[in-house]
């Protein structure tokens, strides 16, 4: 039997613990608990997500801010019903509910402060989008205007899809499609980015 304290202290990866993903302003304000129905399944998928996608980001760019992480099915349904920027529970690209038995997915809305500062000065969001595409085994990425936050999702069979609400809005990359920009053009966009997994840890 899981206790909430024990669940929060579960380590998902080198840099992330479950507690970081359980915070919900919607849940706090409306007094709806954000606790997984199936903690073991949420942890299993959360570990795959954090290890595959978030750790490389933190090790390359430094601090990664989790803006919206895990959502229980009940909390997400409430958010959708009250138009609080939550997709329907049955929406195929919904990635915040990690413990639906028939939908193997885990994701979060995150901000990379290193890039958010540059985006505020006019940097094109597609520079980061193509870096993500060329370096990470993501499933879906969806960019938002505020702080250049983006949803990023893990699935065992990635879709490899990129969309954005930032101009130019729309779908940058459809599942199964080849990037519109060739590798050398994409690489030029992010030539000044830190080296991949750029943090050197003491031995």
In this model, does residue 199 exceed pLDDT 80?
no
162 strand-pairing partners = 141, 173
The residue with greater pLDDT, 43 or 200, is 43
Cα distances (angstroms) measured from residue 3 to each of 39, 85, 98, 168: 10, 29, 18, 45
**Mean of pLDDT over the chain:** 94
Cα distances (angstroms) measured from residue 163 to each of 17, 89, 137, 167: 28, 19, 16, 11
pTM: 0.93
Q: Three-state SS for 84?
A: coil
Segment 161-193, tens digit of pLDDT:
999 999 999 999 999 999 999 999 999 999 999
Rounded mean pLDDT, 47-60: 97
Segment 8-25, tens digit of pLDDT:
999 999 999 999 999 999
């Amino acid at each position: 039997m899981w206790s909430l304290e024990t669940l929060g202290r579960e380590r998902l990866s080198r840099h992330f613990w479950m507690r970081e993903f359980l915070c919900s302003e919607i849940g706090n304000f409306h007094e709806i608990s954000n606790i997984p129905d199936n903690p073991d399944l949420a942890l299993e998928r959360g570990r795959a997500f954090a290890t595959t996608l978030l750790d490389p980001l933190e090790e390359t760019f430094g601090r990664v801010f989790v803006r919206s992480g895990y959502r229980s099915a009940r909390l997400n349904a409430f958010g959708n019903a009250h138009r609080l920027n939550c997709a329907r529970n049955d929406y195929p690209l919904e990635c915040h509910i990690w413990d639906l038995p028939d939908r193997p997915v885990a994701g979060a809305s995150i901000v990379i402060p290193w890039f958010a500062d540059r985006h505020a000065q006019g940097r094109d969001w597609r520079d980061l989008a193509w870096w993500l595409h060329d370096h990470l085994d993501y499933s879906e990425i969806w960019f938002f205007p505020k702080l250049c936050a983006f949803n990023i999702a893990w699935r065992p069979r990635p879709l490899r899809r990129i969309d954005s609400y930032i101009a130019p809005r729309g779908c940058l990359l459809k599942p199964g499609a080849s990037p519109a920009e060739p590798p050398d053009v994409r690489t030029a966009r992010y030539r000044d980015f830190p080296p991949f997994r750029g943090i050197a840890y003491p031995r």
